[in-house]
Structure 1
Amino acid sequence: MRRVCVFCGSSFGARPAYTEAARALGRLLVDRELELVYGGGNVGLMGVIADEVLAAGGRAIGVIPDSMVTREVAHTGLTELHVVDSMHARKALMAELSDGFIAMPGGIGTLDELFEVWTWSQIGIHAKPLGFLDVEGYYTHLQVFLDHVAAEGFMRARHRTMVAVEADPVGLLSAMGGFEAPETIWDHEVGKR
């Protein structure tokens, strides 16, 4: 991996641990010589991780829709800031620029972004590693639900396990480094890919 896309909240959340995790992940990315790709905002956890990467001498690349430049207060001090015309274009460009994806604590936008790249991986559009940074159990209930989805037959076991889940950034990057692309959703025996 050369660049890691981090999906995270445009707010700070209820616990100081979320901000500390954003700082720790930002420093770790620079330590590992990985560039940050993210949503381009200067607010919440988005601003925290970008500022930490820049303060540590790393590269931070933002991608933000023009309609959100004011609402999310686009970060003007980034290494690169791409202003695009839609949320679809934002997600597509972040995916194109990145070699792996991490979801930190965040809201439905964060979940939307990770689930979309997870779906793309499942159907074979890319084979890039994915992970949840489960700060203080933030994603515990979601993991239980995803296990339920798999148990109910709506997700195959190999697709359920294709996303790493770790409580600390070091463990998560390590788990993502061992990523192997699973087979796509389509069965080989039916001749589909």
Structure 2
Amino acid sequence: MAAICVFCASSNKLDQQWLDLATQTGAELAARGHTLVSGGGCVGMMGAVADGARAGGAHTLGIIPQSLVDLEVADLSSDELVITGDMGSRKNLMIERSEAFITLPGGLGTMDELFEVWTTATLDLHAKPIVLLDPTGFYDGLVSWLGQLADTAFVRAAALERVTIAKSIGEAFDEIERALA
């Protein structure tokens, strides 16, 4: 069983389909006996994935900077809530405390987290599996653009291979479990 970090949106103005995806991801994580590592928020997809994980009996670890605690968005129901001094410390601790990563749809913060973990993997600072869970084609434009960057040598082709794209929740967890076996 692994500590799996899930990166996702924390907006509370999202369509229900995204909240459902997050809840189902958390439920599957729990069903497979994993621990959830999250950004420690209680809103949007971040809150939904934590609720789904907890409902299934998973241990939840939230890591959140004090500035977001001050905005009253901390997931106080987390089994363990770690408060950091800033966003950079939060990301570093999320990477350190996780054995694998799943990225759900999200915005700038989610992209920041994905690229941080992806970049550190391509620099061989870790060999932890990274999965982009994209059942709807949300990331098709990003993946296409990155492929074009590889064609121009701005991105090494090997770097693109460090991330697996999964079209279903089950496939995402299967990929992680296969990589960790």
What SS does the corresponding residue of 2:37 show, helix, strand or coil?
Answer: strand
- Is the 8 Å Cα contact of residues 7 and 38 (structure 1) preserved in structure 2? yes
Residue by residue, what CA displacement relative to the aligned partner does 1:147-172 show, whole Å, maximum 9, x if unpaired?
11111111222211110111211111
Taking structure 1 as the reference length, the TM-score comes to 0.88
Taking structure 2 as the reference length, the TM-score comes to 0.94
Partner of 1:24: 24
CA deviation after TM superposition for structure 1 residue 179, in Å = 3.4
Partner of 1:153: 153
Alignment of structure 1 residues 32-181 onto 2, 5 Å: 32-71=32-71, 73-179=73-179
Inter-partner Cα distance in structure 2 for 1:159 and 1:178? 19
Residue by residue, what CA displacement relative to the aligned partner does 1:69-124 show, whole Å, maximum 9, x if unpaired?
13361011110000000111100110111000111111100000010111111011
Inter-partner Cα distance in structure 1 for 2:136 and 2:159? 24
Residue by residue, what CA displacement relative to the aligned partner does 1:30-87 show, whole Å, maximum 9, x if unpaired?
1111100010001000000111111111111000000111336101111000000011
- Is the 8 Å Cα contact of residues 11 and 45 (structure 1) preserved in structure 2? yes
Inter-partner Cα distance in structure 2 for 1:138 and 1:158? 23
Inter-partner Cα distance in structure 2 for 1:15 and 1:148? 30
Size of the aligned set, in residue pairs, is 180
CA deviation after TM superposition for structure 1 residue 127, in Å = 0.4
Q: How well do the aligned residues superpose, as a CA RMSD in angstroms?
A: 1.5
Letter of the 1:8 partner, please give it.
C
Letter of the 2:81 partner, please give it.
L
Inter-partner Cα distance in structure 2 for 1:30 and 1:101? 15
Larger Rg: 1
Letter of the 2:8 partner, please give it.
C
Report % sequence identity: 39
Letter of the 1:115 partner, please give it.
F
